[in-house]
Chain A
Amino acid sequence: QQQVKQSPQSLIVQKGGISIINCAYENTAFDYFPWYQQFPGKGPALLIAIRPDVSEKKEGRFTISFNKSAKQFSLHIMDSQPGDSATYFCAASMERGYQKVTFGTGTKLQVIP
């Protein structure tokens, strides 16, 4: 019940295109859904996060869409750039109670010129 499933495992997108990464969770007690971005040789860093009281959150070219009834959320990267090439992890946690962050398996994104 603590799992977060992420797809695809890898993604190649042309510069200027839209990158879409999907995640699904099982535990309805999760109430915080962050996305992390990891560049080679670095630790993951928080990119954007959403709480289930909203269906969408946008920060620049990055948008999280959240579907509470389906227990799914996704990251959209608009106008993808080569500098966006990285590994992306979705995650879920509970702000109260047992707060361990559960990560998805990661998506390696490559944006080609």
Chain B
Amino acid sequence: GAGVSQSPSNKVTEKGKDVELRCDPISGHTALYWYRQSLGQGLEFLIYFQGNSAPDKSGLPSDRFSAERTGGSVSTLTIQRTQQEDSAVYLCASSRLGGTEAFFGQGTRLTVV
């Protein structure tokens, strides 16, 4: 596609439910990032995938958070047993191998009620 695509754009879920957020990176981009951005705050790094290397999961805030990337392309961020503090915008970005610019999607706004 022309850009990084994230779905859904908005998600409202009840506390305790699991949610899955999807990211379609730019075709050919080998690096993929997930960030969390709370209202008016900075970018909180969650996880980084680079090609076939083991992902850098150092930013995942708890074991309720996990992510996978299938076939080196689409990525899914899963949040289990959602809590109200998980409410935020989840941003995905991708970049090409050797590239230095990260291209961001529009984000998924998650609201836990």
Contacts and interface: CB of A to CB of B under 8 A. Distances in A.
Interface of A: 32, 34, 41-46, 49, 89, 91, 93, 95-96, 99-106, 108
B40 interface: yes
B42 A100 contact: no
B48, B99, B101, B102 pick with most chain A CB within 10 angstroms = B102
The interface size bin for chain B is: 20 to 34
A99 B50 contact: yes
Interface of B: 4, 31, 33, 35, 40-43, 45, 48, 50, 56, 91, 93, 95, 97-102, 104-107
Given A43-B93, A43-B106, A101-B95, A49 B43 contact: no
Contacts of B4: 43
Contacts of B102: 46, 91, 101
B100 A93 contact: yes
B98 to A, nearest CB: 7
Contacts of A105: 42-43
A34 B99 CA distance: 12
Nearest to A100: B48
Contacts of A108: 40
Contact of B42 (A42, A93, A99, A104): A104
A34 B101 contact: yes
A99 B31 contact: yes
A100 B50 contact: yes
A108 B42 CA distance: 9
A38 to B, nearest CB: 8
Given A99-B31, A100-B48, A32 B100 contact: yes
A41 B50 CA distance: 27
A42 B106 contact: yes
Contacts of B50: 99-100
Nearest to A9: B42
A102 B45 CA distance: 8
